[in-house]
């Protein structure tokens, strides 16, 4: 496998100095009892589930680059933590990590305020444990949230499936899916839709699942997918992902089906690019950036496949999969990419201008334009 890598230039523009630990999102905010801040108006993703189901581990691995093995030493969450995710042009929300013992009937728990500003609710179920109690809590949680805000996207992560066989995974997912929907039908909540994902922090399944969740909160998604379809059809590219470099969540992809192996290859390529850049792309004193507007990489695999990465914005990267014969027309691909990159920036600028006319702070991404119930308002 050969790697061609163009080192970042010195005039970087404000990305953190190193990727693995420091190149992450902001520090966690305090618990929910803190005084409200302007960021509280951002769309929220709630992480809920029973104790020790893996909620905090998911948050740390996806958004704070923690090694899965390090999560074994995390203490159990005993209060609600807010984590501000606002580093990307299109990913701009809060993660609220709930302790497993939250009591909805506690009068001090203002569930109406919480659910009314929520874009997505992720309920985590430990697949290696007896999930009868988890299903009961799932039903209580989503039914209460649905009555407050029917626009919430309800996601169920069937978690810790790394310890199960393939047959056991499928059977567990089928059983949880059936029981959860039966409970909703018995409560006359057939309109409430649950999405189910098999996840583990020890592989890329948790990143893929979170990608699907985040995409539902991005009003620009149809525009981004359309741009990607036009780009690959005119460039001879087989598959393209628009990645948030920090979290390795893909913001959008083209309309062809996502192959898990291809997604893993692209994730690994981002790691390679940042690792190489941290070693060879920074100045002697360690200053500079691991990822900037000159970042680009080409990896040629031994099966005539080429991986091609280009910077789109300071937090987004386009990663493409194509054949060597198609890559011979690199000039055409680069020209098409220039047009694609320009279009992406125009989409972002539309969001900024709409935010300004809405009396929101300058530079606010479109995702922060929300309806009264806290769900994104589709404006593109």
Which pLDDT tens digit goes with each residue over 272-288?
Answer: 998 888 888 777 766 66
- Cβ neighbors of 114 (< 8 A, separation 6 or more) are 32, 44, 46, 96
- d(CA 35, CA 24) in angstroms, rounded, equals 25
- Token pair listed for 254: 């083209």
What pLDDT is stored for residue 102 in this prediction?
73
Cα dist from 165 to 40, 168, 201, whole Å: 41, 5, 16
Of 66, 45, 24, give the one whose Cα is nearest residue 201.
66
- Token pair listed for 313: 């914005």
Average pLDDT of every residue of the chain = 81
- d(CA 378, CA 380) in angstroms, rounded, equals 6
- d(CA 377, CA 218) in angstroms, rounded, equals 9
Is residue 32 over pLDDT 70?
A: no
Is residue 114 over pLDDT 70?
A: yes
Domains of the chain: 44-217 (3.40.50.300), 220-354 (3.30.450.190)
Judged on CB neighbours under 10 Å (0-12, 13-18, 19+), 177 is middle
Which pLDDT tens digit goes with each residue over 58-68?
Answer: 999 998 888 99
SS3 289: coil
Is residue 16 over pLDDT 60?
A: no
Judged on CB neighbours under 10 Å (0-12, 13-18, 19+), 238 is middle
pLDDT band at 123 (very low <50, low <70, confident <90, very high): very high
Choice between 4 and 131, residue whose per-residue pLDDT is larger: 131
Which pLDDT tens digit goes with each residue over 163-179?
Answer: 899 999 999 999 999 99
Q: Please report the beta strands in the chain, taking only residues with DSSP state E, as ranges in sequence order.
A: 2-6, 44-49, 81-85, 93-97, 118-126, 153-159, 194-198, 239-244, 249-253, 296-300, 305-311, 316-323
Q: What percent of the chain has pLDDT over 70?
A: 78
Instruction: Give the predicted TM-score (pTM) of the model.
Output: 0.79
Identify the weakest region by mean pLDDT among 1-5, 340-344, 376-380. Answer: 376-380
Of 258, 292, 231, give the one whose Cα is nearest residue 13.
292
């Amino acid at each position: 496998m050969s790697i061609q890598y163009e080192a970042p230039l010195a005039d970087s523009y404000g990305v953190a100095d190193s990727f693995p630990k420091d190149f992450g999102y902001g520090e966690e905010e305090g618990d929910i009892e803190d005084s409200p801040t302007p960021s509280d108006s951002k769309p929220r993703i709630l992480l809920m589930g029973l104790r020790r189901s893996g909620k905090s581990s998911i948050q740390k691995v996806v958004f704070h680059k923690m090694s899965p093995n390090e999560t074994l030493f995390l203490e159990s969450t005993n209060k609600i933590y807010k984590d501000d995710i606002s580093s990307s042009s299109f990913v701009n929300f809060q993660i609220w990590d709930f302790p497993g013992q939250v009591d909805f009937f506690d009068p001090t728990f203002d569930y109406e305020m919480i659910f009314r500003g929520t874009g997505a609710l992720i309920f985590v179920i430990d697949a290696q444990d007896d999930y009868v109690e988890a299903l009961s809590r799932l039903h209580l949680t989503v039914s209460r949230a649905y009555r407050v805000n029917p626009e919430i996207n309800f996601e169920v992560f069937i978690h810790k499936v790394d310890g199960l066989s393939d047959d056991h995974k499928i059977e567990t997912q089928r059983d949880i899916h059936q029981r959860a929907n039966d409970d909703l039908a018995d409560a006359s909540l057939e309109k409430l839709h649950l999405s189910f994902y098999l996840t583990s922090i020890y592989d890329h399944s948790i990143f893929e699942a979170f990608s699907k969740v985040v995409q539902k909160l991005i009003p620009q998604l149809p525009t981004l997918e359309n741009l990607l379809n036009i780009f690959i059809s005119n460039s001879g590219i087989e598959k393209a992902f628009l990645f948030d470099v920090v979290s390795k969540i893909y913001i959008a992809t083209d309309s062809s089906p996502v192959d898990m192996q291809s997604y893993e290859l692209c994730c690994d390529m981002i790691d390679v690019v940042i690792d190489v850049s941290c070693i060879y792309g920074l100045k002697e004193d360690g200053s500079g950036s691991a990822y900037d507007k000159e970042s680009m990489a080409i990896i040629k695999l031994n099966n005539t496949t080429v991986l091609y990465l280009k910077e789109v914005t300071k937090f987004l990267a386009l990663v493409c999969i194509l054949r060597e014969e198609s890559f011979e027309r690199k000039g055409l691909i680069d020209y098409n990419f220039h047009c694609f990159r320009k279009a992406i920036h125009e989409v972002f600028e539309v969001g900024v201008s709409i935010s300004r006319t809405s009396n929101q702070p300058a530079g606010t991404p479109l995702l922060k334009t929300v309806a009264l119930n806290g769900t994104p308002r589709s404006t593109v």
